[in-house]
Amino acid sequence: MSKLSGFVGRRSVAVPLFFGFFLLIGLLTYQDYGVSFDEGTSRDNGMVSLKHVANRFAPAFVAQDHTFDEIADLATYVDRDYGVAFEMPAQLMERLLHLDDPSDFFRFRHLLTFLACFGGVVAFYQLGTRRFSDWRLGLLGACWLVLSPRLFAESFYNDKDAVFMAFFAIATNTGVRFLLRPTFGRALWHALACAVAIDVRIMGVVLPIITVSFLVVRALQGDLRLRAAVPALGVYLLVTVGLVVVLWPYLWPAPWANFVQAFNNMKSFRWGGEVLYQGQLMVASLLPWHYAPVWLAITTPLLYLGCFVLGALKIFRQLLRRHWRLWRGEKEMQDVLFLALAVAPVLAVIVLHSVVYDGWRQLYFIYPSLLLVALSGWQLAWQWHPTFLPAKRWSTLVLLLTGVSMGYIVFRMVRAHPYQNVYFNALAGKDIEHRFEVDYWGLSYQQGLEYILATDKRPRIKVIEPTWQGLELSVLMLPPAERARISIAPTEAEAEYFITNYRWHPQPYSEGFEIKQLEADGLRLHSIFWLVKGWQPTK
């Protein structure tokens, strides 16, 4: 990789410059994103647990804040089995800052979500730099993670899957450090990272399983001394279990029973809605096995997919050459770890028939590992010296193709802003909005309302949406004066505007006269229909 030195500046300049620019972009754009239909529930999850903890340790805090008056008790709350390691601290900061207006506290949550995901990118950079012993490859991987359109957008409002991906990356980073040198200090850091990841999403339990399995194999292969590894492993397991319970109030009354219940609920998630897949509406619990792999394939940039295939083939070749050994050396061990984390969860979803929906967002946590395997594939392509081209020209060609591909991704992200979440690659084919869900988060409702308010100056406007689309949250994101002008009509007969993001209804609507259609990246997101015959609002 020494040839890359002419293209990238010194580490002390390039790395801070990249992360500083990324942080600045986030701080400048986090208010651009609408609210997703899930964010109200996520906030409630945090508030319920915060109320429960505060009532036990600081009851005056709850008594003085009337926001808690309408918050349910944890014991009777339907979603009490959700992890709250991110949600509860977020709600604590919200209440300490007295953010009472919904537009303020939802935007504050967007900022916190971005900062958590920013930490995940830092951890990913460290993982890449350590694996390849080259900060430039670590930085390239961090660029790929940032230039993943859907993940970039969701790092502002997806406080479940994107945040879990970030904490999973952080825990993977501490895990690799612990596996390479299992000291007591590294055991404690890895235990904390794993506990937080598990208490964000219980799927994080794969991390302790992977940690124990790989440490045992390393010891059996003679890579580690048992006398040093076993005590550190014991400390790691004890502290992880303790912190998982401490950071998850739902577990306090019955740690083991409640944990098992939460895990079983995760395997058979309680959502029986429909999703649009390959042109058909299907019940989420009855989706074909290829749903998640297909969604992953059509929403990941082709550069990364191609490099992942190369990297996976390289690692499989290593495994075949090693015969009875899974790896030889620390770098190969990391390769096997990353491939396992990228592939095993997908296979588990297929085998267990787990409920997934809204694309592959429940599997976002595998994405950093997928990109690390892809980096290995890119390195393989870089180091290959074909006979039909001089080595220097080949390396220049690889850099050129990589740069053009990344530049095209940047172009599409800028063009689609703030709807990078509707990115599809060429594998998705044509007529995408009639074959796959597009704006399933409902983010476009805010822009639709803003358009109506800008063109219709009346003091009271009656709007209706399709059933269960989260319009109320988008109304709350408007300034208070504009918010007061919107009235959500109980029936279509009483409404003046019908607005929709086409979820569960990919075909055209016949309601009224379409006055506006919102698009992003060439895809239809949202339509606004005028329902009143014989009169239209004055613009």
- Tens of pLDDT, residue by residue over 10-67, are 888 999 999 999 999 999 999 999 999 889 999 999 999 999 999 999 999 999 999 9
SS3 468: coil
Q: Is the pLDDT of residue 2 over 60?
A: no
pLDDT score, position 352: 83
Section 264-279 average pLDDT: 79
CB 285 within 8 A of CB 272: yes
pLDDT score, position 538: 59
CB 380 within 8 A of CB 310: yes
pLDDT score, position 270: 63
Question: CA–CA separation, 478 vs 448, rounded Å?
Answer: 11
Q: List, in order, residues 6 or more apart from 446 with CB less than 8 Å away.
A: 34, 35, 474, 477, 478
For residue 5, what pLDDT band results from cuts at 50, 70 and 90?
Answer: very low
**What ranges in 30-160 are assigned the alpha helix state H?**
39-57, 59-63, 87-96, 102-132, 135-146, 149-157
Question: CA–CA separation, 38 vs 230, rounded Å?
Answer: 42
Q: Is the pLDDT of residue 285 over 90?
A: no
Q: What is the pTM of this model?
A: 0.94
Strands 497-500 and 461-464: parallel
Strands 280-283 and 274-277: antiparallel
Question: CA–CA separation, 13 vs 2, rounded Å?
Answer: 17
Question: CA–CA separation, 95 vs 449, rounded Å?
Answer: 28
Long-range contacts of the stretch 425-433 (C-beta < 8 A, 24+): 425/298, 425/299, 425/300, 425/301, 425/302, 425/305, 426/302, 427/297, 427/298, 427/302, 428/298, 428/299, 432/523, 433/502, 433/506, 433/523, 433/524
pLDDT score, position 7: 45
Strands 461-464 and 486-488: parallel
Question: CA–CA separation, 54 vs 92, rounded Å?
Answer: 10
pLDDT score, position 421: 96
Q: What is the mean pLDDT of the chain?
A: 92
Q: How does DSSP classify residue 324? A: T
pLDDT score, position 268: 66
pLDDT score, position 511: 77
Residue with tokens 């990789």: 1
CB 374 within 8 A of CB 309: no
pLDDT score, position 8: 47
How buried is 146 (Cβ within 10 angstroms: 0-12 exposed, 13-18 middle, 19+ buried)? buried
Question: CA–CA separation, 472 vs 478, rounded Å?
Answer: 10
CA 235 from centre of chain: 30
Section 203-231 average pLDDT: 91
Instruction: Locate 184 and state its tokens.
Output: 């007591």
Section 103-129 average pLDDT: 97
% of the chain beyond a pLDDT of 90: 79
Of residues 3 and 92, more confidently modeled:
92
Residue of 143, 174, 149 whose CA lies nearest to 162: 149
For residue 195, what pLDDT band results from cuts at 50, 70 and 90?
Answer: very high
**10 Å Cβ neighbour count for 353?**
13
With b meaning 16 or more CB within 10 Å and e meaning fewer, what string describes 355-390?
Answer: bbbbbbbbbbbbbbbbbbbbbbbbbebbeeeeeeee
Report how far apart, in Å, the C-alpha atoms of 124 and of each of 54, 154, 456 are. Answer: 35, 17, 47
Section 405-423 average pLDDT: 97
Question: CA–CA separation, 451 vs 278, rounded Å?
Answer: 31
Q: For helices 102-132 and 161-180, give the axis angle rounded to 10 degrees.
A: 30
Instruction: Locate 527 and state its tokens.
Output: 């339509």
**10 Å Cβ neighbour count for 437?**
21
SS3 424: coil
For residue 535, what pLDDT band results from cuts at 50, 70 and 90?
Answer: low
Section 360-368 average pLDDT: 96
pLDDT score, position 52: 96
For residue 387, what pLDDT band results from cuts at 50, 70 and 90?
Answer: confident
CA 317 from centre of chain: 31
